[in-house]
Homo-oligomer: A and B are copies of this chain.
Amino acid sequence: MKKLINEPQAVVSEALLGLEAAHPDLRVDHANKIIYRGDAPKSGKVGLVSGGGSGHEPLHGGFVGFGMLDAACAGEIFTSPVPDQMAAATSLVDGGAGVLHIVKNYTGDVMNFEMAAELAAAESGVQVRSVVTDDDVAVRDSTWTAGRRGVGVTVLLEKIAGAAAEEGRPLDEVERIARTVNANGRSMGVALTSCTVPSAGSPTFDLPQDMMELGVGIHGEPGRERVPLAPARDIARMLLDPVIEDLPLRAGDPVIAFVNGLGGTPLIELYVLYNEVAKILAAQRISVARSLVGPYITSLDMAGASVTLLKVDDELLGLWDAPVSTPGLRWGR
């Protein structure tokens, strides 16, 4: 294992120290591993709290700031944070207008956030709502299973719901917008290599030189199938087809197209992939209203990418375009 770290068990707490040092607008509660806005709580503003296992940076801590999250809870690498962290974050950002929890759909995250909401409500009476993202079409959904995983849509949702909260919209509204985003977004990813969890010290899975894992999860969970390595134009189709079909998207629909790097893939490759994605969308007359290309929800050092499409209307686009100022996403301010 070759990593720029000290002791594997210290990675999360040391990265939080680095994040705090690099971004003077943010505060870090190191005991609880919470990253929060220096101006929190903002009176009368709905608080947005997310969190999850670490290793997906900039998600979530890098999305704390004006126009996006108020606080993020960092778990150990790939391990959900615990309710105490989430409850503390909830109190920290409670400005009297309620708090929205943004939770990626993994059993651990969902249950821990549930307990946190119960705890926070019991302790301080703050009104807590939760939105669970489950956009990964690689996993077949059913009420009998854990359901689809939350992946790329989480980034877009945190931005859009964050803008709504920043505008001063009430909890009901912010929650409705968040649910709309999740309902209209789908994703699928591919891994060319495994990630390596620092404490494990070796790759999570073995992938032969000529194979790739289609539909991989952001913790290195297996996908739909293992298929031979393919050119970017074929990969784009393998990722997009199920996304377009699942939503479904039709000619004329406007989307935000998001090509995401999984941590070990350089930007030049993401642009090659984006070119293929744009060509497929153009051929189907799906219109790209906005785009995002870069590593925003990663899986440590995994080489690979995911594609997310979010069907948008004018309201969502307006919120997407609104100013945001976080370490990971910034414009208009």
Contact = CB atoms under 8 A, between A and B. Distances in A.
A18 B265 CA distance: 15
Contacts of A325: 331
Given A265-B301, A266-B263, A267-B62, A231 B272 contact: no
B233 A6 contact: yes
Count chain B CB atoms within 10 A of each CB in A12, A16, A62, A267 and give the residue with the most.
A267
Interface of A: 2-7, 11-12, 14-19, 21-23, 54-55, 57-58, 62, 192-193, 209, 212, 229, 231-233, 235, 263-276, 278, 288, 291, 293, 295, 298, 300-301, 303-305, 325, 327, 330-333
8 contacts: A2-B192, A2-B209, A4-B232, A5-B269, A6-B276, A12-B268, A17-B275, A22-B271
A268 B328 CA distance: 12
A5 B325 CA distance: 32
A213 to B, nearest CB: 11
Contacts of A11: 268-269, 272
A86 to B, nearest CB: 20
A333 to B, nearest CB: 7
A116 to B, nearest CB: 23
A265 B14 CA distance: 16
A18 B266 contact: no
B273 A4 contact: yes
Count chain B CB atoms within 10 A of each CB in A54, A193, A266 and give the residue with the most.
A266
A2 B229 contact: yes
A5 B272 contact: yes
A294 to B, nearest CB: 9
A275 B331 contact: no
Count chain B CB atoms within 10 A of each CB in A4, A274, A288 and give the residue with the most.
A4
Contacts of A235: 4
B274 A21 contact: yes
Contact of A330 (B303, B327, B331): B331
Given A57-B268, A325-B331, A5 B275 contact: no
Nearest to A281: B21
Contacts of A229: 2
B331 A267 contact: no
Contacts of A192: 2-4
A155 to B, nearest CB: 14
Contacts of A268: 11-12, 15, 54-55, 57, 300
A274 B14 CA distance: 9
Contact of A18 (B209, B231, B272, B304): B272
Count chain B CB atoms within 10 A of each CB in A271, A298, A331 and give the residue with the most.
A271
Contacts of A278: 17-18, 21-22
A267 B209 contact: no
Contacts of A231: 5-7
A303 B265 contact: no
Top 7 closest pairs, chain A to chain B, by CB: A18-B271, A18-B275, A18-B274, A263-B266, A4-B269, A15-B271, A57-B267
A28 B264 CA distance: 27
